[in-house]
Structure 1
């Protein structure tokens, strides 16, 4: 059939009246255009359609051939329909045919109708690799001719009841998925093709139709192969036709299409339509069937009316559905950082303002998040919860660094040996106290460094989380803020370490201070020692001095006397005022001092009476007698070897107790001072100062060029792709809504006229 001769062949008209066709043609064309437009972006849109289902060899292809007057593929021993076929028929004064697949034009201007089946078969084999398998790809056949109805049908592959050697279970599953995808949409009219010679209760087409349309509201039954009905079975078939067996709202129609014998004898489709009419007019069995319910021309007109009615009814619902999809797209775009996609189409000046506003909003959100963390505004604040935990641990670690009895007494004795000389006793007291306290200052470096390290780590983690949370959709801006943070972090980290060194240096420089804080703390610690039981205190001192020295019991009377005495004899009237008045240091008897008393319990045993009695490691050589400055530079305190037996059983006297109390006082003051000031200064550097600097530096980004703004505000490539896909969908949905609204308006005007 050539282009020039196609319209001259005498085809029985399958169309309705010319005026009606002119009315419905724009409606059907618009729906087809919408289907084309959204086919690749959204298969869930419920567009009105007529979907044809039936078992293999049910006569489904023959019905479509009769409706379109186009020879379709014949399978013979093989599967006929291997993929969905959308058949768009339009009444036109000229012949035109084209075949498409997934928006790709396969053949255009097909000159001969008999070649169409060959092209369809070739494309199906390409999609299925020449196997009897099923593809979900949709073939679109557009045909125009003077005799065609304005009708669109979607033909699904035939339902497989029993698989052959060439057909596998996967094909059965794909067919079921296709049936569900198309029939599950409320606007789909189900055209169920049923062999009249089979029991309708066993029809697979009816089974699937009932599955998705249980009340039969949108199912149309078509009875085929009437000539194969056994004698005596006509009455049962008429009961089906009369809606008595399985009722359907739209009822049933009867058709008699070309048989295989007609095909083998090359009976033309136009001739087959005439033979069909003769069959019904001459058959005594089916003569009573109404004309509008029998024959392919009647079926074509019936389907056209139902499709048009369905389209008109579906327009409001379809518009609402599309608006819902637009709202969903807008939510997704907002999640991807686009509040209004139309802003992307602005002029440079307007776009610069838009991007600046977006950048400002992002910076404002960043500052809000940062200050929320800084001020502790958030519930379960991640920074302050950890900070409190770190402060508690720092407090414990600082106190754990204090020297206990055994260690402290050992340090005191070592310091007394290292600082012996002709100096006055007050100066000796200062040197011993400073020497021991410097050991404590060295010890507290570890918890201070640990606290600083943990605070740096935690603060940086919190800030990094905020940065990622706010800027994760814009990688360039994220990297810019990260770089800003890393630079500032290194700077403040260095300043914090300098702060630590400065505080330790200050403590080392001013270990001993005769001030009210010292006096009050000294009174408190003396009071604690006085309140302790004398036996417990004595036991503690003896145990702490046991290694490496040999100790003897110290009477509680001598300890009490030591705690009370001053440089001279203490007046008995002042005994009760010990807790209120500052007690000056005890007078220490030194061997080289004119005021020394060789019988002093400590020095008489510590300082030998002759040169030969001095241990080798305690000679008078100045290199062996380490000064306090040498001791400070040492990494560990001066400890006498266990073999040096210069301290006898009576060396633990009231002087050591007095040293111990004063050193405990200084330890306590240093500990409190560090605990109170160090965390506060570190928090200021790492939190307050860092947050304010980030706030200041990030605000500068707002004053930049459009090119820089475009770079900073760019999204991740994958995000950009998703944004573009969503924006494209949004545009298509907008256009579709406008077209549907125009259709509604046209229908309204038509009804009014």
Structure 2
């Protein structure tokens, strides 16, 4: 495992503080909240990417044909200060297995993949975490992702290619991730899907480093193509390309150690007439890759720090807001529960008071309940005016003559039977009763919807209490609606009595008479029935004005003042309800969400402290 020493030896002074910081953030579990600098290894199927990862880490990973990496393998290398120390911990989905020797890693990873993705060849997005503690490795995180395949075999999903690409993209799209694109040196890199995927998420190759493998399998005469790629003259990447020679299948079957493999790799590049220049330029071999990778990771960590700090601050603010919305939870002791429920009911009753006062808080697109009522009252007044206008046309002088022909009794010409006058008024009033009841129903619907929404928002975390409040809302709403309906019907029954206070009536009559005389002068017309029509018009004005105010007053009195007043009393009655304990039960998922948010806040606070300490140093 001497090859792994390169990661620990090169740039120790520069690397150690950065790696320690990222390691501490990972130990806190901060990667659940934001993206931390990491290294993802991607490649087409059988490209040799697991071999590269194996050479970098010193750990023998599973090999074979087909899809070998079937789950994301997060390899965390952690340096142990004890000489020759080595231990490992493999974990997934709550399961944990301790490893005593490096040779146990391969079988342990296979067992984990089978447990997660099944014994076949399908994949899963569930992660396997492998922690390696050793004296000759640095603190570093490497992520091995499934190789890209195009054809489903065996019991693989038909959309296996799509699933693998989606999984890979979730990792490599993170701006903090260094992408190692592994491409066999003996194939046309333009045909590799892994490189195309990297270019899509990192067009300029700012985060992408190309790794050419299987350098010993390049056909004679094809070396110039590889040289062109290594010189970044083919498909350009800002970070460029490197070339390695890892253990092949035959080397593994012959049990070649990683140390021997490194020596053979060095010999290979030193003696290769086309590639040895890249060894001198530190673009060839696993040790030089390790050195380059360490530099890139340190740079990436340093570049990511300002963004990490901002993300931590933003996340803390976001979680604080969510926790405020959830509240502190319900106390466990009885006195605390009584106090909690009393406060909650008081706050809700204040919301109801605000509704009556037309002072309730609104979302940008909402309208206050009272304002919605006013809009309906305006429609009601417009309907009264339209009905009045129609009747006035009906009782103009010419129409009255026709009407008198069929309704006239013993009276002499120029007189109109008072019963006919009453019939006209009663008919007019009868036509208005149905629209008035419709107005009441519309207002009932408005307050029903709005109070239901207010109740849901306010008590959504307390389902039993919310059901009781909504039950009370329905009972009292229907009760006040019935009372308002009865009062409206009574009002229209009274309107059929045809009555007005004398002084008020005379005032209206004189005003109408003045209007009529003005009309007579302008058009020169006169009629025996002008006096009668003037009386009718005067009384219609009184009726219209009375109903324009009285109907809305009845609606407001019952469907707003009385309804909400009764509701506030019912809310206070909950405090003495026999099922009081049930009303203080919280929705099952709320406590879990609160606990989850608090744990996130705690680790983010620690992460912020770690970042501040790092900056201070």
TM-score bracket for this pair, using the shorter chain length: 0.7 to 0.9
Aligned-pair CA distance for 1:228: 1.3
Instruction: Write the mapping of 1:212-291 to structure 2, written as runs, cut at 5 A.
Output: 212-246=201-235, 248-280=237-269, 286-288=275-277, 289-290=279-280
Q: Does 1:91 align with 2:79?
A: yes
Using a 3 Å threshold, how does the CA distance of structure 1 residues 204 and 670 change in structure 2: closer, same or farther? closer
Aligned-pair CA distance for 1:175: 2.6
Q: Going by fraction, where is helix more abundant, 1 or 2?
A: 2
Q: Distance in 1 between matches of 2:4 and 2:525?
A: 128
Residue of structure 2 in register with 1:674 after alignment: 543
Q: Does 1:488 align with 2:355?
A: no
Q: Distance in 1 between matches of 2:407 and 2:263?
A: 124
Aligned-pair CA distance for 1:517: 7.0
Residue of structure 1 in register with 2:462 after alignment: none
Aligned-pair CA distance for 1:189: 0.7
Using a 3 Å threshold, how does the CA distance of structure 1 residues 315 and 344 change in structure 2: closer, same or farther? farther
Q: Does 1:409 align with 2:405?
A: yes
Instruction: Write the mapping of 1:513-528 to structure 2, written as runs, cut at 5 A.
Output: none
8 Å Cα contact 2:181-2:208 kept in structure 1: yes
8 Å Cα contact 1:98-1:143 kept in structure 2: yes
Residue of structure 2 in register with 1:446 after alignment: 430
Q: Distance in 1 between matches of 2:143 and 2:297?
A: 12
Q: Distance in 2 between matches of 1:17 and 1:154?
A: 22
Q: Distance in 1 between matches of 2:387 and 2:355?
A: 31
8 Å Cα contact 1:366-1:467 kept in structure 2: no
Residue of structure 2 in register with 1:29 after alignment: 23
Q: Distance in 2 between matches of 1:535 and 1:742?
A: 95
1:319 to 290, 309, 323: 309
Q: Does 1:58 align with 2:43?
A: no
Q: CA RMSD in A?
A: 4.8
8 Å Cα contact 2:22-2:36 kept in structure 1: no
Residue of structure 2 in register with 1:555 after alignment: none
Task: Map Cα deviations across residues 502-542 of structure 1 (whole Å, 9 max, x no partner).
Answer: 332465xx9999x95799699889989999999998xxxxx
Q: Distance in 2 between matches of 1:705 and 1:228?
A: 82
1:382 to 356, 372, 375: 375
Residue of structure 1 in register with 2:495 after alignment: 503
Aligned-pair CA distance for 1:129: 4.5
Task: Map Cα deviations across residues 540-565 of structure 1 (whole Å, 9 max, x no partner).
Answer: xxxxxxxxxxxxxxxxxxxxxxx7xx
Q: Distance in 2 between matches of 1:504 and 1:663?
A: 18
Q: Report the more deviating stretch, 494-503 or 183-192.
A: 494-503
Task: Map Cα deviations across residues 291-343 of structure 1 (whole Å, 9 max, x no partner).
Answer: 95543344334434432332233122022124334555667x4xxxx756565
Q: Distance in 2 between matches of 1:229 and 1:480?
A: 82
Using a 3 Å threshold, how does the CA distance of structure 1 residues 14 and 438 change in structure 2: closer, same or farther? same
Residue of structure 2 in register with 1:193 after alignment: 182
TM-score (norm. length: structure 2): 0.77
Residue of structure 2 in register with 1:740 after alignment: 607
Q: Distance in 1 between matches of 2:128 and 2:367?
A: 62
1:457 to 437, 441, 451: 441
Aligned-pair CA distance for 1:259: 0.8
TM-score (norm. length: structure 1): 0.65
Q: Distance in 1 between matches of 2:94 and 2:493?
A: 78
Q: Distance in 2 between matches of 1:285 and 1:526?
A: 114
8 Å Cα contact 1:437-1:511 kept in structure 2: no
Aligned-pair CA distance for 1:79: 1.7
Q: Distance in 2 between matches of 1:745 and 1:734?
A: 16
Residue of structure 1 in register with 2:91 after alignment: 100
Using a 3 Å threshold, how does the CA distance of structure 1 residues 674 and 480 change in structure 2: closer, same or farther? same
Q: Distance in 1 between matches of 2:401 and 2:202?
A: 91
Q: Report the more deviating stretch, 228-237 or 401-410.
A: 401-410
Using a 3 Å threshold, how does the CA distance of structure 1 residues 748 and 676 change in structure 2: closer, same or farther? closer
> Can you give the 5+ residue segments of structure 1 that lack an aligned partner in the other structure?
1-8, 417-424, 538-562, 564-659
Task: Map Cα deviations across residues 62-120 of structure 1 (whole Å, 9 max, x no partner).
Answer: 112222333322232x321223221112223444333333xx13341134544433343
8 Å Cα contact 2:176-2:304 kept in structure 1: yes
2:296 to 276, 288, 306: 306
Using a 3 Å threshold, how does the CA distance of structure 1 residues 674 and 230 change in structure 2: closer, same or farther? same
